[in-house]
């Protein structure tokens, strides 16, 4: 009717890549769980935060939770930027 054909091989590859990425993220988060932040993670979190990157984006890039990053920034003493509504 609409003459639409699907490339099932490509679609299967996209789905598999998505599943592989999710699995990789879970493994990395499990490796970091319960471990203190490394010097690299601390430096990266502070630098990224001061450059305006959101806490959730920093957490994703470091395979940590947003709560972990927020607590880390508070312990280091990085001043809170506030919300966009406050600015």
Closest CA to 45 of 68, 24, 29, 22: 68
pLDDT at 1 over 60: no
Cβ-contact 59, 66 below 8 angstroms: yes
Count CA atoms within 13 Å of residue 60 on its CB side.
7
Res 87: pLDDT: 52
Domains, the chain, with CATH or none: 9-76 (1.10.10)
Q: Could you tell me the two tokens for 39?
A: 């010097």
0.75 exceeded by the pTM?
no
pLDDT at 65 over 70: yes
């Amino acid at each position: 009717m609409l003459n639409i054909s699907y490339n099932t091989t490509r679609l299967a590859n996209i789905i598999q890549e998505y599943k592989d990425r999710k699995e990789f993220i879970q493994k990395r988060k499990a490796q970091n769980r319960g471990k203190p932040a490394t010097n690299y993670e601390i430096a990266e979190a502070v630098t990224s935060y001061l450059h305006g990157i959101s806490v959730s984006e920093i957490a994703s890039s470091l395979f940590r939770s947003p709560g972990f990053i927020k607590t880390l920034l508070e312990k280091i003493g990085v001043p809170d930027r506030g919300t966009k509504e406050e600015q």
